Chain A
Amino acid sequence: METLLQILSPTFLLRNSVYASVLIGFACPLVGVFLIIRRLVFMGVALPQISSTGVAFALSLPLWFGFHLTDHGSQTAHTLAFAGSIVFSLAAILSLAFMERRGRGQPEGRLGTAYVVAAAAGILLLAKNPYGEVGWLDMLKGEVITISNFDLVLTIAMLAFVLVVLLLFQKELILVSFDREMALILRKNVIFWDVMLYILIGLTVSVSVLSVGPLITFGFLLIPALIAHRFAQTMIQFTLFASLIGGVSAFIGFWIAYQYDLPVGPTDVVFLGITYAMAWIAGLSSKVLL
């Protein structure tokens, strides 16, 4: 309990990390729900990895051109990292979704390849970068300790943007996902709404990867939505439950990690995994009992 009070204290040293991981816990499942209903779960796995490779790529650019980033946490580095993350995320999601729509080849194969190539490229970029071990490895491991005010503000802005867009355009996004033909017949611009959704997903993934790394991001994109789907009765419940599970799990995960001196990211994801397993068993046993 003492640890909990410490974490909740406004003077807590790692408060930015708590706020950021909880905000990301709330935000990621909001778009993760669309990955589940559009059967794009593998994209939820590949995308954060590609996004983090974008960060590594962008931060390597100055070195390749003979510049040195003296301070890893500088505004320039952050801007570069954000640009790399968002460019890679959006390029990946738009091209993968386009190929998905064409329905040719093997989508799992494409996503698997994208994931593994992105992971390998990230390692190669880190290996050749003298700053790699300073902060990037921590980020890739999901060590949520050094969350700057900039990262926190970015995360808050992203959550607000995602919430507003989803609230305003939920009916269009659900319609084009559920019944594309009907949307076309109702003269909806389905490409516009698809791109809007992908931008939302890409933005969420980019900001999350930048703040907490790919591990937590893909954990929070998918697992809360998968848990919520077992219990929700409506799409609104599905979205709300997923977001709540994400936010609450992020907080509990942080608490456990802080209590037992564990890395936050893996703790969050393992906690979510255990919750999912328990939800699955609960669902199974209720079916047996009924």
Chain B
Amino acid sequence: MFARITPGEHTQQPMHNSLIKLDNVGIGYAGREVLSGISVSIDRSSFTAVLGANGSGKTTLLKTILGLLPPITGRIEAASSGVTPIFGYVPQTSRFDPVYLLTGFEVALMGSFGRVRPGRFVPQAERTFTRECLQATGAEEFYHRRFSELSGGQKQRVLIARALTTRPDILLLDEPTAGVDHAATLAIMEFISQLHKERKMTVLLITHDFAAAHRHAEQVIWLHAGKVYQGPAQKLLTAEHLKKMLEGEMN
């Protein structure tokens, strides 16, 4: 069984382990709702995949959680501590303009800027930590290389290092394997999964890849036909449930 959350409905979720909770939230642009009545929670140390077709509202949901877009209705609650979590955001690589002559290190270092006041130079300790993050993501060899000249998979590693440099409570990845070849896709997904397991890192992954979500994610939020479904990946992504949902749509 999976929890089905339809617009306007609520699910009672325990708050004690929840890092972020969306309570009856409507999301969209310029006051126009793309999705409404979203009530989902992201648990601490969980690996959640957000699935859905193009235009289903995945990126809008991510941007709303990140605070880049205000929710149109409802509210987003932070963890039980009430402090907004620190987000380690990994955007799609295609949005970066190659005109910037930034090295892999300089891009990764940006993650530390939230802790360095304006007008101050980045301290050596932050630089060392950034180098460690690059090492952790296997991107140390891109330290001096120009970011725009890296391949899609290499850029992803640098961007994940940048997200880690923020010392995040939660890692949010927007289709990290988009435009990446199969071998690199497997490597990136394995790496994210390893990060989650070894560091108990909370992960929210936006993806089209059902197989990867099934293999790595513990929870799934599925945006489908204007509705939001949340449940354990092993239950939500079974052939039987998928068939039931698709048939339901056709009926």
A interface residues, Cβ below 8 angstroms from B: 36-37, 39, 168-169, 171-172, 174-175, 177-179, 181-188, 229, 232-235, 237-238
Contacts and interface: CB of A to CB of B under 8 A. Distances in A.
B101 A232 contact: yes
Contacts of A181: 63, 66, 68, 89, 91
Contacts of A237: 101
Contacts of A188: 113-114
B156 interface: no
Given A184-B67, A185-B87, A229 B114 contact: no
A165 B245 CA distance: 57
Interface string B102-130: 11001100100110101100100000000
A3 to B, nearest CB: 37
Nearest to B105: A234
Given A169-B119, A229-B101, 12 more contacts: A37-B97, A37-B100, A39-B97, A168-B119, A169-B118, A179-B91, A179-B96, A182-B110, A183-B113, A184-B66, A234-B102, A235-B102
Given A171-B113, A181-B89, A229 B99 contact: yes
B166 interface: yes
Interface of B: 63, 66-68, 87, 89, 91, 96-97, 99-103, 106-107, 110, 113-114, 116, 118-119, 122, 146, 162, 166
Contacts of A172: 113, 118
A104 to B, nearest CB: 12
Contact of A238 (B66, B101, B122): B101
Contacts of B110: 171, 175, 178-179, 182, 186
A84 B241 CA distance: 69
A233 B101 contact: yes
Determine which residue in B68, B96, B110 has the highest number of CB atoms from chain A within 10 A of its CB, and name it: B110
A182 B92 CA distance: 12
Contacts of A229: 99, 101
Contacts of B113: 171-172, 175, 183, 186, 188
A268 B85 CA distance: 54
Contacts of A233: 101, 146
A232 B148 CA distance: 14
Contact of B68 (A171, A177, A185): A185
Contacts of A37: 97, 99-100
Contacts of B91: 179, 181-182
Contacts of B102: 174, 178, 234-235
Which among A36, A175, A177, A181 has the greatest number of chain B C-beta atoms within 10 A?
A181
A185 B106 contact: no
Nearest to B119: A168
A123 B95 CA distance: 42
B67 A36 contact: no
A234 B68 contact: no
B204 to A, nearest CB: 13
Instruction: State the 7 A-B residue pairs at the shortest beta-carbon distance, nearest first.
Output: A186-B114, A168-B119, A238-B101, A235-B101, A185-B89, A178-B100, A37-B99
A176 to B, nearest CB: 10
A235 B100 contact: yes
Contacts of A168: 118-119
B91 to A, nearest CB: 6
In this complex, the member of A169, A172, A178, A237 whose beta carbon has the largest number of chain B beta carbons within 10 angstroms is: A178
Contacts of B100: 37, 174, 177-178, 235
Contacts of B162: 182
Contacts of B68: 181, 184-185
A15 B99 CA distance: 37
A185 B67 contact: yes
16 contacts: A36-B99, A39-B99, A171-B116, A171-B122, A175-B110, A177-B100, A178-B107, A179-B91, A179-B110, A181-B89, A184-B66, A185-B66, A185-B67, A188-B113, A229-B101, A232-B101
| Residue of B67, B68, B107, B118 with highest tally of chain A CB at under 10 A | B118
Contacts of A175: 110, 113
Contacts of B114: 186-188
A233 B103 CA distance: 8
Contacts of A184: 66-68
Contact of B89 (A39, A182, A235): A182
Contacts of A179: 91, 96, 110
